Amino acid sequence: MKLILPFLITSLLVFQPVNAKTIKWDVEVQSNNTELLKCIKVVELKSKRSLLNSLSGMGIISETPTNLTLQNNCKDGIKGFADIKLLDSDGFMVDEWPESFSIGRKALSKKSFKFLTGPLKWKKVKSALIEFSQLETY
């Protein structure tokens, strides 16, 4: 019996990446600044949530690693904020996460962060809406 418990724990830790599922979100983009929308393109928004991470938060809240890849098509670098809103199938907001970004001129930028979301909310998420606001150009 003493050998079974360490074996189970070790096997869960080893096979955690196998159980993780990568999700690429359909993304809608908004901004009050129309010039900013001409410059920035969302290349990809994807998350990877594993069952073990969901269980570690006792089913209440857990971290979900997320990558946001942005492309700048303008000749100036841009610094600003992206307000990432996770939406359900009807378009209602399930969760929201503010994130700063910085993209060099004519470049790609990959931003990694972690959503803190409960499993019940996570199951409802079907798409994402990103609202950009610009701080400055460089």
Per the model's pLDDT, the better-predicted residue between 17 and 87 turns out to be 87
CB 68 within 8 A of CB 43: no
Instruction: Please tell me whether residue 116 adopts helix, strand or coil conformation.
Output: strand
The secondary structure of residue 15, as a DSSP letter, is: S
Rg (CA), the chain: 18
The overall average pLDDT reported for the chain is 84
More confident position, 134 or 95:
95
Residue 86 contacts by C-beta under 8 Å, 6 or more apart in sequence?
25, 93, 94, 95, 96, 97, 115, 117, 121, 125, 127, 128
The whole-model pTM stands at 0.77
Whole-number Å distance between alpha carbons of 80 and 134: 4
CATH class of this structure's domain 17-137? mainly beta
Instruction: Place 56 in a pLDDT band, splitting at 50, 70 and 90.
Output: low
Q: What pLDDT does residue 50 have?
A: 74
Mean pLDDT of 15-26: 71
For the cut 70, the answer to whether the pLDDT of residue 59 exceeds it is no
d(CA 86, CA 126): 8
